[in-house]
Structure 1
Amino acid sequence: MNITTIASGSTGNCIYVGSGDTHILIDAGISKKRIEEGLMNSVGISLKDISAILITHEHIDHTNGLGVVLRKYDIPVYATQETVQEILTIGSLGKMQSEHFNTIRPDEFFHVDDLRIKPFMISHDAANPVAFRLEDKDRTLAVLTDLGRYDDYIMENIAGADAILLEANHDVNMVQTGSYPYYLKQRILSDKGHLSNENAGKLLSGFLHDKVRHIVLGHLSRENNYDMLAYETVRTEIMSADNEYKADDFPIHIAKYNCVSELIEF
């Protein structure tokens, strides 16, 4: 299995996951051109090779390029019914055929070729948002962004994964002292907002196990975070946690918001 982020951040999100001849996008929140260039530059494929697009939720930074892609390519899209309904009402996406969309339900597995996929619920201010657990015959990947909090349910759904892409969206102090209006600060910091660097580190401290191969920190805010701040904060939380693992035991990568990140194979 392999993964790369074509874009990951508050301005747009698109993640590639591959397994054998199966090629999946998770979200399409950037332009078709950027998606195509990212796929070609990172894995040498084009949008016509994509097996499916999984949509976590309807917010525009996750759907901005979807309409253009679907008007050019006949790619099946998987999302919850509530998410599909919201997407079809977003005027800026243009006209889309409902036949492209396949509805999924949290906690019910579905298959895309040789990938077994489980959507699971997350706490975010969207219609019915989900994260994804993806499994092939050898490996498991968890992709988990846009959540204001985590709990035992989340931990159960990511348990044992060989790799994880996890949101480390913001530094709490930067949000509190920054220029955002009060209502937006409250949204970001709420249980239906985004996961802070500190909480990402705490989540990872409870997730770590002997077979973890890669950790990717994603969906970093351009205004309220820095790559190294997220990286060091997460490492500090892992080092201070009451478990046997240290931050140097696992490779920790940072997903870029404005360019394709390295292709990770595991």
Structure 2
Amino acid sequence: MIGTGIQFTVLSSGSTGNATIVRNKDAALLIDAGLSAKRIDELMKERDFTGDQLEGILITHEHSDHIRGLGAVARKYNLPIYANEKTWLAMEKAVGKITPEQKQVMQTGDFLSFGSLRIESFGISHDAAEPVGYFFRDGEQKLSLATDLGYVSDKVMQSITDSDVLVLEANHDIEMLRMGRYPWNTKRRILSDIGHLSNDTAGEVLSELLSKKLKRTYLAHLSRDHNMMELAKMTVRDAMESRGCFYKEHEFKLCDTYYDRPTPWDAIGEA
């Protein structure tokens, strides 16, 4: 039996595949399906969860590390897929055959409700057709997911403000990326306003967001080639402190995500 409020687990995060489950007492949703259906089932099983408990799948954008297993999972569990129209146009061939009822258009800025769980999408900046992030509400509780974004606009800041828990991209260390093996065109894309958020920028964002309400931030979508979790945490802390934003671990925590295993269930109402 699920308690009151929002719970979530990041099943996998990174360029090899992304998937997250968000649930409350009324519904459970999969956000992105960027791994094989078999692997998603394995990761769900590690968290004592099965696909037949899902109400649907929300998609952030059409890149393969977010939709690789989408069609197979949707067909296996007969799930509706929610995405905006431009994302549907960009990913429809990759999804494969689904029923008309499974194709649900949720335009950017729209909201869905499943009982007490309310979901709203917001536009982000990334090199995709019409990428989005999501935030989830249950009463006063708020969880926000914002990854795959080149920069954080005023609209994004507005959307993720007042979160209790935030899943935020910290993709790369700038110097590691600049010195890395990627061709310059790829590096330039990652560093651009339609690329990915650096550790430094994640710290800048958190220095503006930190309040008594924000309890935890999960650093997500880390590059395996150009980042490390401890480096990301250190850089984020330094960036926050350089802007006069100091915090105590018992008041606010930076949390890990993983590419190869799920995070523990996080109940937002708990300390």
TM-score interval (norm. to shorter): over 0.9
2:222 to 217, 220, 223: 220
The CA distance in 2 between the partners of 1:35 and 1:204, in whole Å, is 30
The yes-or-no answer on 1:27 pairing with 2:27 is no
**1:34 partner amino acid:** R
- 1:3 aligns with 8
The CA distance in 1 between the partners of 2:114 and 2:57, in whole Å, is 10
The yes-or-no answer on 1:58 pairing with 2:59 is no
User: CA RMSD, aligned part only?
Assistant: 1.4
- 2:156 aligns with 154
The yes-or-no answer on 1:201 pairing with 2:206 is no
Alignment: residue pair count = 262
The yes-or-no answer on 1:13 pairing with 2:18 is yes
Moved more, 55-64 or 72-81: 72-81
- 1:178 aligns with 180
The CA distance in 1 between the partners of 2:235 and 2:248, in whole Å, is 11
The CA distance in 2 between the partners of 1:62 and 1:247, in whole Å, is 34
The CA distance in 2 between the partners of 1:111 and 1:103, in whole Å, is 14
- 1:246 aligns with 247
Deviations 1:118-144 (A, max 9, x none): 100000000000000110124100000
Q: Percent identity at matched positions?
A: 40
The correspondence of residues 62-211 of structure 1 with structure 2, limited to 5 A, is 62-90=66-94, 93-211=95-213
Deviations 1:24-44 (A, max 9, x none): 1110001112211222221x2
The CA distance in 2 between the partners of 1:67 and 1:139, in whole Å, is 31
SS of the aligned residue for 2:259 comes to coil
The CA distance in 1 between the partners of 2:14 and 2:248, in whole Å, is 23
The CA distance in 2 between the partners of 1:104 and 1:178, in whole Å, is 38
Deviations 1:180-230 (A, max 9, x none): 011111110000000000000110111111111221011001111111111
TM-score, with structure 1 as normaliser: 0.94
Moved more, 102-111 or 18-27: 102-111
SS of the aligned residue for 2:42 comes to helix
The CA distance in 1 between the partners of 2:110 and 2:213, in whole Å, is 25
Does the Cα contact within 8 Å between 2:26 and 2:114 map onto a contact in 1?
no
**1:119 partner amino acid:** S
Return closer, same or farther for 1:229/1:177 CA change in 2, 3 Å cut-off. Answer: same
Deviation at 1:247, TM superposition (A): 5.6
Deviation at 1:107, TM superposition (A): 2.0
Moved more, 57-66 or 135-144: 135-144
The CA distance in 2 between the partners of 1:241 and 1:247, in whole Å, is 16
Does the Cα contact within 8 Å between 1:169 and 1:219 map onto a contact in 2?
yes
Does the Cα contact within 8 Å between 1:235 and 1:247 map onto a contact in 2?
no
Structure 1: runs of 5+ lacking an equivalent: none
Deviation at 1:260, TM superposition (A): 1.1
The CA distance in 1 between the partners of 2:92 and 2:57, in whole Å, is 15
**1:27 partner amino acid:** D
The CA distance in 2 between the partners of 1:247 and 1:62, in whole Å, is 34
The CA distance in 1 between the partners of 2:115 and 2:65, in whole Å, is 27
**1:200 partner amino acid:** A
The CA distance in 1 between the partners of 2:248 and 2:66, in whole Å, is 30
Does the Cα contact within 8 Å between 1:239 and 1:247 map onto a contact in 2?
no
The CA distance in 2 between the partners of 1:37 and 1:265, in whole Å, is 22
**1:63 partner amino acid:** I
Deviation at 1:45, TM superposition (A): 2.1
